[in-house]
Amino acid sequence: MSDNALVPVNLNQLPSTQIGTDDQFAELAKGGDYIGRMQLFTKGKAINKELIRPGHYGIPESDEEVYDLGVTVNILPLARRPKAIDMTDLEALVIVYDMETPEFKRIAAKSVEAESHCQFGPSFLVYEQSTRRFLEFFCGTKTNRIEAKKIYPFLPLSEGDIRRLAEAGTDVTGLEPHGPIPLTLKVKLAENRKGSWHAPVVVMCSTPFVALPSEEVFVKEIMRFLTIRDNGVEKVEEKTTRAR
């Protein structure tokens, strides 16, 4: 790092300036017992407020702040779960994780209506490379759901997963257990007669992931993501603008 002109004294040789590990400080800096979310912005209040440019991935931090990740994001996909969300009332979101419940089916059916403020699809827990954060990436629109299936092969695959696939009649020839495989999310502009919007694109990642958290941290975050409370239906009071 170059010398800082605002600090005329050379302080490059200071002793260690922390007690504890980076993982511990990341845990201390969390705002609460929730997982932040990453989304691809194309329209909405955050863009109207010029908090982020259209076609960029970002992490909403509040109504007035979005961390801009740019047009390319490297991630490790770690887990997935179904999700449906009704955003009709932004101060009392309805979030459902059980696809068999009437509430999930209601939201999914309503999502096809114009300006329904409802979405459903796969939700992924990912580890984002540049911020070193565990984040949710929800593929709740029709365009995102189509691309989401390309993320599935990058998820960890255990021996139990392979047995489950075999029992369901899937050909598992050549499949072997593996950990999460890095992927890169890019962006493309999609168009139809109704207008244009930005869509995610999944490609192989060529940038190595280094300085990763411990396996214990990964396991903890995965279990937190997959633990569903309140019989799979949550009512969340949140004023932060959700993904459209």
Q: 96 - beta bridge partners?
A: 84, 233
Both tokens assigned to 66: 């979005």
Identity of the amino acid at 101: T
- Counted residue by residue, the chain has a size of 244
Q: 112: Cβ–Cβ under 8 A, 6 or more apart, which residues?
A: none
- How far apart are alpha carbons 82 and 38 in whole angstroms? 16
Whole-prediction pTM value? 0.82
CA torsion sign for 69, 73, 77, 79 is: positive
- How far apart are alpha carbons 66 and 58 in whole angstroms? 6
Q: Give residue 114's pLDDT.
A: 86
pLDDT tens-digit profile, the chain (244 residues): 445 566 666 666 667 667 766 666 665 555 556 789 999 999 889 999 999 999 999 999 988 999 999 999 999 999 999 999 999 888 888 999 999 999 999 999 999 998 889 999 999 999 999 999 999 999 999 999 999 999 999 999 999 999 999 999 999 999 999 999 999 999 999 888 878 899 999 999 999 998 899 999 999 999 999 987 665 566 655 444 444 3
Q: Phi and psi at residue 233, in whole multiples of 5°?
A: -125, 125
- The owner of tokens 């280094």 is 210
Print the SS3 string covering 164-231: HHHHCCCCCCCCCCECCCCEEEEEEEEEECCEEEEEEEEEECCCCCCCCCCHHHHHHHHHHHHCCCHH
Contact at 8 Å (CB) between 154 and 181? yes
Q: How many CB atoms lie within 10 A of CB 4?
A: 11
Contact at 8 Å (CB) between 41 and 52? yes
Q: Where are the alpha helices (DSSP H) in the chain?
A: 22-28, 45-48, 102-110, 142-148, 159-167, 215-226
Q: What is the DSSP letter of 157?
A: B
Q: 159: Cβ–Cβ under 8 A, 6 or more apart, which residues?
A: 177
- How far apart are alpha carbons 229 and 133 in whole angstroms? 23
